Amino acid sequence: MSIVLAFCIFLAPQAGGAPSGFAELDVKAVLERPVIGPKQALEDVQDYLAGRIPAVPRFESAAEWEKYAGALRAQVLEEVIFRGEAAAWRDARTRVEWLQAIPGGPGYRIRKLRYEALPGLWIPALLYEPERLEGKTPVILNVNGHEGRGKAVPYKQIRCINQAKRGMLALNTEWFGMGQLNAEGYHHARMNQIDLCGTRGIAVFYLAMSRGLDILLSLEHADPERLAVTGLSGGGWQTIFISSLDPRVKLTHPVAGYSSFLTRIFNHSDLGDSEQTPCDLAAFADYNHLTAMMAPRYTLLTFNSKDDCCFASGHALQPLLDAARPVFALYGKAENLRHHVNDDPGNHNYEIDNRQAFYRALKDYFYAGRPEFNAEEISSAEEVKTAEELQVELPVGNADFHTLALELSKALPREMKLPGDPAAARLWREEAAKRLKEVTRAKEWNVAARPVEAAREGPVKITWWQLRIGRAWTVPAVELEPESPQGTAVVVADGGRAGAADLARELLAQGRRVLAVDPFYFGESRISSHDFLFALLAASVGDRPLGIQASQLAAIARWLEQRGAGPATLHAAGPRSGLFSLVAAGLERKAIAGVKLKDDLASLKEIIDKSWRADQMPELFCFGLLEAFDIPQLKKLAEAAYD
């Protein structure tokens, strides 16, 4: 579908046809020539993000820290996790259904259960329960990471069995996308569909964990002063996330599960998926903060020395210790922050050495003065069960990220009709533009332009530009200028500027000046490695990839106008470039004359209906965009851009 939103003077073919000699110009080769090189995009995004990661402040007393940490915890819960419909999810009653119990091994049984993380979304779980219980006993939430076998993975079963054989209650929960929840709707990059609707997708993850704590603490023999959480990898992330934000947790043991955001920027193996890099978290708190927020509670940080996945001890551990140690010292509890580095096997694991480190922590913190507690692992490999034996029945039609987003999107966007009265219409445009700027976190940047090379092919002057935008971004641009140009067209495409050769050639043939650019994340501006993870981190520091792209385009349009080459018409090929072009036109009311779209979105709901993922096109999942606007409203605002 193609929509034209501009005055005819900018879109009508010019008289006279193609410039003389134009047929010989190889537009594709011109556009393909490198302008900024293969490293510039990465260096730009690293510098930009690193300057926005908050540091852990220093305080003189535990009371000062306590006040700060309490306010920060509340801020993260309210601003990062429970925005939108998530606030209602939090207030819903936790439903738990206990199913059959199966024999475990000597001294314990396994009780199957399912519980609602939020209305309609059930989590399968297993409770490893000692056969004989008297008085109060520790309770442990065992979460798992990116492990396809989920709750049935042997090393997790062995850990839970060992807890039960020592008299503890161990809850083994399933994680989204793993084990029994291994389905497309639970793919973590679909969490961002919920974000698009103005509700925090991260809330689903948080509630799955906090409901697990609720279940443990509801048990008759649960000791609320001895509640622990532990897990590997994504389970390590879950462990620090819930432990730092829920003071009910008294001991935390994340294994190879996280590092500081600042560490991740320069150690790409650590860059986290959607749930580990939730929208706006890094605007308030780094994982250094979350680690320090454990003080003075018992904290054991375990990392692996030769980790072949992520969070290797050599780079991940020390910054966390450096941030948290001064805070633990304020309480006089430096000994409550410990660390363990696994060398054998040293890879990404929660095998016997790491498990025994956990048992030692349980002995020291939960069983102090109990010499009979043995921290050596009890051999239990023969008691490991199959996934089929541990299967928990789930309701038909169990909700997932995609179905939650579909339901949320039904009532969106909020009504935004353009009034017929001219005065009211102007007011609507002003309010809508302000709201669009807020939602996309758009900036008003300036451009410092540097020509890299210039050439002439017949009647066409060619200039390769490096456009330094906002002193942060180096955007490559190629300008094709015929003699006596009839207007200016800025060309962007989902396939990058090199993929827009046909469009550029067509516009040039109409006598236009053509500027083909690659904004953030596209074409030559695409980051060579872990690209979408950097885009997620940009949203986490409080920006929006969509807003960055639109702000770059708006700045380029203003630069063209300052050169006497504007106002410019935006030509966008593809749904992604079409969206940020519409946003740019809605933001920049003078320098952008209109927008011509090809293969664009008819509605933002297509993103959800087609179940697209954030790892495929991260800028489309701008938090709250669909809550405020849909494509028809954005087009109306773009039409109003050039008065």
Q: Are residues 194 and 318 in the same domain?
A: yes
The pLDDT value recorded for residue 629 is: 96
- Does the residue 51 lie in any domain? no
- Residue 549 contacts residue 619 (beta carbons within 8 Å): yes
Q: Are residue 76 and residue 172 in the same domain, yes or no?
A: yes
Q: Indicate the pLDDT class of residue 420, thresholds 50, 70 and 90.
A: confident
Asked if the structure places residue 73 within a domain, the reply is yes
- For 117-160, the pLDDT digits (tens) are 999 999 999 999 999 999 999 999 999 999 999 999 999 999 99
Asked, for residue 48, whether it belongs to a domain, the answer is no
Place 634 in a pLDDT band, splitting at 50, 70 and 90.
very high
Q: What is the pTM of this model?
A: 0.94
* Number of domains composing the chain: 2
Q: What is the mean pLDDT of residues 405-427?
A: 84
Q: What pLDDT digit, counting tens, does each position of 458-501 carry?
A: 899 999 999 999 999 999 999 999 999 999 999 999 999 999 99
Which pLDDT does position 360 carry in this prediction?
98
The band of 1, judged by pLDDT with boundaries at 50, 70 and 90, is very low
555 domain-assigned: yes
What is the three-class DSSP state of 129?
Answer: strand
pLDDT of residue 426: 82
Strands 169-173 and 222-232: unpaired
299 and 205 in a single domain? The answer is: yes
**Same domain membership, residue 201 and residue 94:** yes
Q: What is the pLDDT of residue 5?
A: 41
The per-residue pLDDT for range 38-52, each reduced to its tens digit, is 999 999 999 999 999
Share of the chain above pLDDT 70, in %: 95
Give the residue from 392, 408, 424 where a domain finishes: 408
- The yes-or-no verdict on residue 6 having pLDDT over 60 is no
Residue 41 lies inside a defined structural domain of this protein: no
In a domain, 50, yes or no: no
Residue 209 and residue 126 share a domain: yes
Same domain, 485 and 549: yes
Question: What CATH number does the domain containing 331 carry?
Answer: 3.40.50.1820
Q: What is the CATH number of the domain that holds 562?
A: 3.40.50
What mean pLDDT is predicted for residues 91-119?
A: 96
The lowest-confidence range among 342-351, 384-393, 406-415 is 406-415
In a domain, 52, yes or no: no
Euclidean distance between CA atoms 638 and 643, whole angstroms: 10
Domain assignment of residue 474, given as a range: 2-32+414-639
Q: From the CB of residue 334, how many other CB atoms can be counted at a distance below 10 Å?
A: 16
Residue 332 lies in a domain: yes
Torsion angle defined by CA atoms of residues 262, 267, 272 and 273, in that order, rounded to the nearest 10 degrees: 130
Q: Which of 357, 374, 408 is the C-terminal boundary of a domain?
A: 408
Same structural domain, 305 and 428: no
Predicted local distance difference test score (pLDDT) of residue 21: 52
**pLDDT surpasses 50 at 19:** no
Within this chain, do residues 7 and 92 fall inside the same structural domain, yes or no? no
pLDDT greater than 90 at residue 68:
yes
Q: What is the pLDDT of residue 415?
A: 66
Distances (CA, A) of 295 to 227, 332, 340, 426: 15, 10, 18, 53
DSSP sequence for 275-297:
TTS-TTHHHH--HHHHHHTTTTS
144, 150, 151, 157: CA torsion to nearest 10: -80
| CB distance 376 to 353 below 8 Å | no
Whether 258 shows a pLDDT value over 90: the answer reads yes
For residue 9, the model assigns a pLDDT of 26
Query: Tell me: the pLDDT tens digits for 358-379?
Result: 999 999 999 998 999 999 999 9
Q: What is the mean pLDDT of residues 414-432?
A: 80
| Last-in-domain residue among 389, 408, 427 | 408
Q: Based on the domain organization, do 396 and 425 belong to the same domain? A: no
Q: Write down the pLDDT at residue 416.
A: 64
Are 357 and 426 in a shared domain? no
Shared domain for 230 and 150, answered yes or no, is: yes
Model confidence at 241: pLDDT above 50: yes
Instruction: Mark whether 474 and 370 lie in a shared domain.
Output: no
Q: Please report the pLDDT score of residue 642 as a whole number.
A: 53
